[in-house]
Structure 1
Amino acid sequence: MPPAAARPTIALAAGGTGGHLFPAEALARELMARGFGVVIHTERRGAQYAQALAGIEHVVLPASSLEGGIAKKAQAALTILRAVLSSRRDLKQRGAALMVGFGGYPSFAPALAAKSLGLPLLLHEQATRLSKANARLLRFADALATSFPAVAGADGFDAAKIVETGNPVRRAILDARGDYPPFDTQGPLRLLVVGGSQSAAVFGRVVPPALALLPEALRHRLQLSLQYRGEDADALVAQLRGAGIDASVRPFFDDMGDRLREAHLVVTRAGATTAADLLTIGRPAIFVPLPHGGSREEQRRNAQTLAQAGVGWHLDEAGLTPESLAEVLREAFESPTRLPDAARAAAALGRPDAASRLADAVERLLARARSG
């Protein structure tokens, strides 16, 4: 291996949400450990993840989605052009050798800037379908790394240039890996309910009454961790404890890795990063995809794919009621095999070495570009 100083700089493009930035962070730290220089091109929202970016060179670019009417698209095009020019200047100044794009509209301009300089472009897709940004950039890509064995939207792309790496996860998640907790008919039942970085108000409305519908024997074994930001959190705790349920309700859990490791079952959204965390640790889940917004289709497909793989259940929010949730929970908790089997299915799909595999893909593409 050449000395660290001789290794080039690799640029990564990610932003918007933690779902795009956290995998970029994981790859950045793996590449830095291998002696590469690294810079992340992001935008304002991505730059707010200060802890993820700590110690990593990064550039904040203007960003805008191309969604909307003609006037909005014209304004967005100007914003993207400014971002392309800024990104291009930075890439030239650093002598960057390759760009890795992680999807989301903030990655669009840096990817175009890299291609305008003749740099190889590796796209990483976290979900089971190409994001809009990755789908638009695919024609410029030299390689595609995926998180799942099959990814919709990549039809026509050279199969020899596609590699399944998995979705890189944070160090806290890797450190939380461990055996599925003991599960029997007498011990505690640890249920973790989280709704992503913004939490999910629907879980606060549906989960407490759903748990109250469970048989008394199950309720008294439950240990609930519920992420909830509502002002009525104290009332929810009183409601849950009145039903005989040991409950912790907080707006945010800063020990998420530990809680995932200890959980028998998770109720959650179906974002790609959430899925990667669960698979890496090997925990079953009830997936409730976002009901609207740009991530709706992506999350629905993720939930369907994971449910079909035996990792858990898929419930649409439109049909999420206390009764429907209670039925699934009762089925899960009363079966001696359903949850342990789902945990094994999750672990089988996990890729704890995803950051290393993606860094290997970067090195292969870099070597191919230099030899060609």
Structure 2
Amino acid sequence: MSHAPSSSLPTVACAAGGTGGHLFPAEALARELQRRGHPVVIYTERRGAAYTQALAGLDHVVLPARSLEGGLAGKLAAGLTILRATALARADMVRRRVRLLVGFGGYPSFAPALAAKSRALPLLLHEQGARLSMANRKLLRFADGVATSFPATTGLDGFDPARIVNTGNPVRQAILDARGDYPSLDPHGPLRLLVVGGSQSARVFGEVVPPALLQLPVSIRHRLQVSLQMKGDAVASVEAALQAGGIEATVRPFFDDMGARLRDAHLVITRAGATTAADLLSMGRPAVLVPIPQGGSRDEQRRNAETLAAAGVGWCLPESEFTPERLSELLAGAFASPTVLPDAARASAALGRPQAAATLADLVQETLARNP
């Protein structure tokens, strides 16, 4: 935390859940507002505070947070936690003279939003997915405006369309700095495939992708350059098996040069989280999207993947259909065509909003001007 700001520009607060999907867009907006001279603070919870690199140089406050799951006792405990977090956030907003809050979803964003409205501050909501998240749905009635990442976002029925702005999803600067043209596809040149999806994808991607690649025709395998993110004891053996099959493969638990690998990729196999989608579109890369199975009202990744697939960005392959045989068939067709991947890359770039952070910052400043 820092002392109360001395800047003549209004202080803006961001509230974000503890996942990277919520925190990274908040970070991108915060840094853009800082560049414009605004003091900024981010309210998050302990998981969000663990993203130390994302929060470096940014004032942030760690608030208590708890989801409403767990039956009556869990809901009562969550209610008490929200009340405590709301009081803490409100006191901090008074001290910092916060003038506006931008909520990025996740249950930890709920208390700061309530604190802001208790002080009659403007509230903007940013939705990263193709459907309004649970926290944003609950806060919608308090919102002065909604910024969306997709041109068509469901869950906004009844909200004034004039107060909905498609800003796109702010992307980390490391991704923006690595942007480049889609790599050319020479008939005899390399085919670069990036497979990445985080810890929740390590097992299934590691089980499905290597055998799918080894089923490809020899003419394709010998052109493949694969970067596969995978954790566990099998990393070395999987890399060796791919190389024995004629595939140039790098298998690692983590890639610290993700921007460069994404820029160089002809195709990406990944999950369909909102931040992943924004990175892909900002870079203009096609993808095989394998949404995490969630089901019900929380099926955000499936909605994201289906939206992007319908726009021509790539393919939505549900995990129930994510088999070596199905994936190998899909990849063989894509790699054999001279037009499929470049066309999908153009569709991806057409949806990309690399200026999303600046556009959202413009909306923040416009809202501040309307609420002196």
Q: For the superposition of Structure 1 and Structure 2, which TM-score range results when normalised by the shorter chain? A: over 0.9
Letter paired with 2:261: R
For residues 24-65 of structure 1, the C-alpha deviation after alignment (integer angstroms, 9 at most, x for no partner) is 000000000101000000100000000000000000000011
Q: Equivalent of 2:242, from 237, 240, 245?
A: 240
Question: How far off is 1:199 after superposition?
Answer: 4.3
Q: Which residue of 1 aligns with 2:3?
A: none
Distance 1:295 1:127 in 2: 13
Question: How far off is 1:13 after superposition?
Answer: 0.1
For residues 117-139 of structure 1, the C-alpha deviation after alignment (integer angstroms, 9 at most, x for no partner) is 11000000000000000000000
The answer for unaligned runs of 5 or more in structure 2 is 1-5
For residues 302-329 of structure 1, the C-alpha deviation after alignment (integer angstroms, 9 at most, x for no partner) is 0000000000000000111100000110
Question: How far off is 1:252 after superposition?
Answer: 0.6
Distance 2:118 2:221 in 1: 60
Per the normalisation by structure 1, the TM-score is 0.97
Distance 1:72 1:161 in 2: 35
1:158-197 alignment, distance < 5 Å: 158-196=160-198
Q: Which residue of 1 aligns with 2:114?
A: 112
For residues 164-217 of structure 1, the C-alpha deviation after alignment (integer angstroms, 9 at most, x for no partner) is 100000111101111100102100000000013554310000001000110000
Q: Per the alignment, in what secondary structure is the counterpart of residue 111 of structure 2?
A: helix
Is the contact between residue 287 and residue 315 of structure 1 (CA under 8 Å) also seen in structure 2?
yes
Q: Which residue of 2 aligns with 1:283?
A: 285
Distance 2:206 2:298 in 1: 20
Is the contact between residue 14 and residue 102 of structure 1 (CA under 8 Å) also seen in structure 2?
yes
Q: Equivalent of 2:210, from 195, 198, 208?
A: 208
Is the contact between residue 145 and residue 162 of structure 1 (CA under 8 Å) also seen in structure 2?
yes
For residues 321-361 of structure 1, the C-alpha deviation after alignment (integer angstroms, 9 at most, x for no partner) is 10000011011100100000000000000001000000000
1:133-144 alignment, distance < 5 Å: 133-144=135-146
Question: How far off is 1:105 after superposition?
Answer: 0.5
Alpha-carbon distance change, 100 to 197 in structure 1, aligned in 2, over 3 angstroms: farther
Q: Per the alignment, in what secondary structure is the counterpart of residue 55 of structure 1?
A: coil
For residues 195-240 of structure 1, the C-alpha deviation after alignment (integer angstroms, 9 at most, x for no partner) is 1355431000000100011000000000000000121111101111
State the number of aligned residues: 367
Q: Equivalent of 1:329, from 328, 331, 335?
A: 331
Q: Per the alignment, in what secondary structure is the counterpart of residue 25 of structure 1?
A: helix
Q: Which residue of 1 aligns with 2:222?
A: 220
Q: Per the alignment, in what secondary structure is the counterpart of residue 69 of structure 2?
A: coil
Q: Per the alignment, in what secondary structure is the counterpart of residue 26 of structure 1?
A: helix
Question: How far off is 1:293 after superposition?
Answer: 7.3
Question: How far off is 1:292 after superposition?
Answer: 3.0
Q: Per the alignment, in what secondary structure is the counterpart of residue 188 of structure 2?
A: coil
Is the contact between residue 201 and residue 271 of structure 2 (CA under 8 Å) also seen in structure 1?
no
Q: Which residue of 1 aligns with 2:72?
A: 70
1:210-359 alignment, distance < 5 Å: 210-292=212-294, 297-359=299-361
Q: Which residue of 2 aligns with 1:46?
A: 48
For residues 240-289 of structure 1, the C-alpha deviation after alignment (integer angstroms, 9 at most, x for no partner) is 11111110000110000000000000000000000000000000000000
Distance 1:295 1:244 in 2: 44
Per the normalisation by structure 2, the TM-score is 0.97
User: How much is the aligned-residue C-alpha RMSD, in angstroms?
Assistant: 1.2
